C-alpha cells in the first residue's frame, strides 16, 4: 500500500476502520483480494511476481499491511520483497509482538518499509528506517511512504477526511470515496524524497493515474469489537474501475 488511514479503537461500533490505496506499476501482475489456494486461511490480494501481499487478514484474526519508505538517495542490493513481511506474519502462529522481535535480526534484508501488524495482543507499527516497534494507542492515524503520521499533504487530507466521516453515518462504500481525490499538492508543499520533481508531483495525490503507474486498488476494512469484519476492495486499471469484491468474515478481534 502507499496511502493508509485508520481509526483504531476510536469508534463505538468498530474497533478498526481502515482505508488504503495500493499504488503500483500497471504491468506488475497481481490478483485481487481472495482466499489463497495454498493458504485458505489467508484473505488478501497477492503479488504474482514475488508471492507476497500488501494487505491481508487471516481467519485467526491476524491483520497486516505494508508500505514502502521512499528514499531515492538510498539503494539496497537485492533486497527481499516487502510482501514477504506480511505473508510471513499471516502464515505462522507467532504473535504480533513476537514477530516484530524476530524481525529485529533480519529487518535490514528488506527494502525500506513501514509495517502494521495486529492480532488479539494489539495493533503495532514498525519501520526499518528507525522507528522501533510500537504498540498503537487509540486514535486516528495516517501512513504513506514516510514514517507514521508524517504530515504529507495527501496523508493529512485523508486522515482528516476519515476523522470527519466516522463522526457521523458511513458505509464501506462511502469511506472508499475519501481515497479518490486526484488533486496534486502545491509544489511548495511537496516532500523531498530524492526523486525527480515530476515524480514527486505525480505521487502527491491521494488517487494516482498515469500512463504506467497508478492506484491499483482501494481497500476498506471494518472490524466490529466482536470480530465481525467486512473487507471491500475496488480494483483499477489505467482505464478505470475493473471490478469490486466484498467479503465478510468473523475472526478474533484485533487488540
Task: DSSP for 243-255, please give it.
Answer: EEEEEEEE-PPP-
Range of the domain at 33: 3-250
In a domain, residue 143? The reply is yes
pLDDT tens, residue by residue, 229-251: 999 999 999 999 999 999 999 99
On whether the CB atoms of residues 32 and 45 are closer than 8 A, the answer is yes
Convert the pLDDT of each residue in 94-109 to its tens digit: 999 999 999 999 999 9
Among 54, 38, 248, smallest CA distance to 46 is for: 54
User: Is residue 133 domain-resident?
Assistant: yes
3-class SS shares of the chain: helix, strand, coil, % to 5: 20, 40, 40
Q: What is the pLDDT of residue 131?
A: 87
Distance from C-alpha of 255 to C-alpha of 242, rounded to nearest angstrom: 34
pLDDT tens string 141-177 = 999 999 999 999 999 999 999 999 999 999 999 999 9
Classify residue 167: in a domain, yes or no.
yes
Binned at pLDDT 50, 70 and 90, residue 75 comes out as confident
pLDDT level of residue 76 (50, 70, 90 thresholds): confident
d(CA 115, CA 125) in angstroms, rounded, equals 6
Predicted local confidence at residue 143, as pLDDT: 98
Q: Is 19 within a domain?
A: yes
Grid look-up 487530507 returns: 157
Among residues 71, 36, 24, which one has the least CA distance to residue 213? 24
Statement: residue 1 has pLDDT above 80: no
- As given in the structure block, the three cell numbers for residue 72 are 531515492
Nearest C-alpha neighbor of 114 from the set 54, 72, 158, 28: 54
pLDDT of residue 88: 97
How far, in whole angstroms, is CA 71 from its chain's centroid? Answer: 18
Domain count, the chain: 1
Q: Residue 203: which of 152, 151, 147, 161 has the closest Cα?
A: 152
Local structure of 158: helix, strand or coil: helix
Nearest residue to 5 (alpha-carbon basis) of 19, 23, 26: 19
Please indicate, yes or no, if residue 255 is contained in any of the structural domains.
no
On whether residue 220 sits in a domain, the answer given is yes
Is 241 within a domain? yes
CATH number at residue 236: 3.60.60.10
Whether 20 has a pLDDT exceeding 90, the answer reads yes
pLDDT per position as a tens digit, 217-230:
999 999 999 999 99
Amino acid at each position: 500500500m502507499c496511502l493508509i488511514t485508520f481509526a483504531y479503537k476510536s469508534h463505538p461500533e468498530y474497533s478498526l476502520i481502515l482505508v488504503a490505496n495500493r499504488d503500483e506499476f500497471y504491468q506488475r501482475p497481481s490478483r485481487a483480494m481472495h482466499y489463497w489456494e495454498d493458504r485458505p486461511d489467508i484473505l488478501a490480494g497477492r503479488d504474482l511476481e514475488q508471492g507476497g501481499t500488501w494487505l491481508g487478514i487471516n481467519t485467526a484474526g491476524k491483520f497486516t499491511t505494508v508500505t514502502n519508505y521512499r528514499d531515492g538517495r538510498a539503494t539496497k542490493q537485492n533486497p527481499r520483497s516487502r510482501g514477504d513481511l506480511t505473508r510471513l506474519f499471516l502464515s505462522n502462529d507467532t504473535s504480533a509482538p513476537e514477530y516484530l522481535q524476530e524481525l529485529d535480526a533480519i529487518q535490514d534484508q528488506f527494502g525500506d518499509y513501514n509495517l502494521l501488524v495486529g492480532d488479539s495482543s494489539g495493533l503495532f507499527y514498525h519501520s526499518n528506517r528507525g522507528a522501533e516497534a510500537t504498540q498503537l494507542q487509540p486514535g486516528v492515524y495516517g501512513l504513506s511512504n514516510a514514517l507514521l503520521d508524517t504530515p504529507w499533504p495527501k496523508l493529512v487530507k485523508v486522515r482528516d477526511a476519515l476523522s470527519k466521516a466516522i463522526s457521523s453515518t458511513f458505509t464501506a462504500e462511502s469511506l472508499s470515496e475519501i481515497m479518490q481525490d486526484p488533486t496534486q499538492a502545491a509544489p511548495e508543499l511537496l516532500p523531498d524524497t530524492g526523486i525527480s520533481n515530476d515524480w514527486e508531483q505525480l505521487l502527491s495525490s491521494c488517487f494516482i493515474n498515469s500512463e504506467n503507474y497508478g492506484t491499483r486498488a482501494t481497500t476498506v476494512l471494518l472490524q466490529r469489537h466482536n470480530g465481525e469484519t467486512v473487507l471491500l476492495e475496488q480494483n483499477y486499471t489505467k482505464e478505470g474501475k475493473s471490478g469490486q469484491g466484498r467479503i465478510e468474515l468473523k475472526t478474533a478481534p484485533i487488540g
